Amino acid sequence: MAGGSPPVTVALPDGVVHLRHHLDETAQQDLVNRILHAIGEEFWFQPTTPRWNRPFSVRMSNLGTLGWVSDRRGYRYQPVHPESGLPWPAMPAALQELWREVAGHPALPEACLVNLYRGTARMGLHQDRDEHDLSAPVVSVSLGDTAMFRLGGTERNAPTRSFPLASGDVLVLGGPARLAFHGIDRILPGSSTLIPGGGRINLTLRRVGQPLAKVASTGS
Ligand code: SIN
Ligand code: MN
């Protein structure tokens, strides 16, 4: 250690866990292969904003029994692709394993939203609040090009910070940070060769259902 500087660690707000390089290169490659194979050509869609119907700069797909979609009718979860009406492809077991490992929540996620960022794609500051079960965290996996992630507080005008999310990083937003505003300022093109054609894939694992307590109380 002589002459070395101490590692710089930046404290994150309560409820935010950033697991750097949580997935090694083999696991990243395996996940990308499985996801792209499951989605094929037919399960991508172009989300648009509610009301104004403007296209997002990312393309999206979903894996699991529910998927998040956005179009002029609004934001929602649904079991089928918005154009073809086909059920979403299954969520790979490796993602359920990852959830068990890091989420600290007994029920599995029903939805994995897949965002594809190419070129100048970005995502504005927003909250993930279309889920009923806010006791479960959102678990995010970054694959491919590094992204500059922006994290704020639970009020839109709270101060924000930004930090890079690299390929293989896992970020958990839970507890007091479950409704934290967040977004992607930009990706750093060419920082990874993992994604065929370049860019970044982000996976977010989401538990949608009713909180467990409510399910239990209606059971008898
Ligand atoms: C999202 O908030 O849906 C995506 C975040 C990310 O791409 O890291
Ligand atoms: Mn989000």
pLDDT, tens only, 161-182: 999 999 999 999 999 999 999 9
Given this model, what pLDDT does residue 4 score?
59
**Does the Cβ of 140 fall within 6 Å of ligand 1?**
yes
Burial track 121-159 (b if 16+ CB lie within 10 A, e otherwise): bbbeeeebeebebebbbbbbbbbbbbbebbbbeeeeeee
Domain count across the chain: 1
The secondary structure of residue 197, as a DSSP letter, is T
What mean pLDDT is predicted for residues 39-68?
Answer: 96
Contact criterion met (CB below 8 Å) for 112 and 95? yes
What mean pLDDT is predicted for residues 53-62?
Answer: 97
Exposed/middle/buried for residue 1 (C-beta within 10 Å: 0-12, 13-18, 19+) = exposed
Tokens of 3: 């002459």
Mean pLDDT rounded to a whole number for the chain: 93
**Does the Cβ of 151 fall within 6 Å of ligand 1?**
no
Helix (H) or strand (E) holding 113: strand 111-117
Q: Which residue range(s) make up the domain with 114? A: 16-218
Tell me, yes or no, whether 168 lies in a domain.
Answer: yes
**Does the Cβ of 202 fall within 6 Å of ligand 1?**
yes
Nearest atom (ligand 1) to Cα of 204: 3
Given this model, what pLDDT does residue 210 score?
73
Tell me, yes or no, whether 85 lies in a domain.
Answer: yes
Reply yes or no on whether the pLDDT at 2 is more than 70: no
What mean pLDDT is predicted for residues 100-109?
Answer: 97
Q: What is the pLDDT of residues 123-134, one digit of tens each?
A: 999 999 999 999
**In this structure, which residue's CA is closest to atom 2 in ligand 1?**
183
Tell me, rounded to whole angstroms, the distance of Cα 44 from its chain centroid: 16
| More confident: 137 or 4 | 137
Tell me, yes or no, whether 55 lies in a domain.
Answer: yes
Compute the distance from residue 81 Cα to the ligand 2 centre, in Å: 19
Task: Dump the DSSP string for 115-140.
Answer: EEE-TT--EEEE-----S-TTSPEEE
CATH of the domain at 65: 2.60.120.590
pLDDT-based confidence at residue 215 (cuts at 50, 70, 90): very low
Tell me, yes or no, whether 4 lies in a domain.
Answer: no
**Does the Cβ of 184 fall within 6 Å of ligand 1?**
yes
Q: Cα–Cα distances in Å, from 16 out to 11, 13, 40, 69, 177?
A: 10, 6, 33, 25, 6
Amino acid at 133: D
Mutate to test the pocket of ligand 1, among 61, 140, 149, 200 (most ligand atoms within 8 A of CB): 140
Given this model, what pLDDT does residue 194 score?
98
Tell me, yes or no, whether 179 lies in a domain.
Answer: yes
Tell me, yes or no, whether 101 lies in a domain.
Answer: yes
**Does the Cβ of 167 fall within 6 Å of ligand 1?**
no
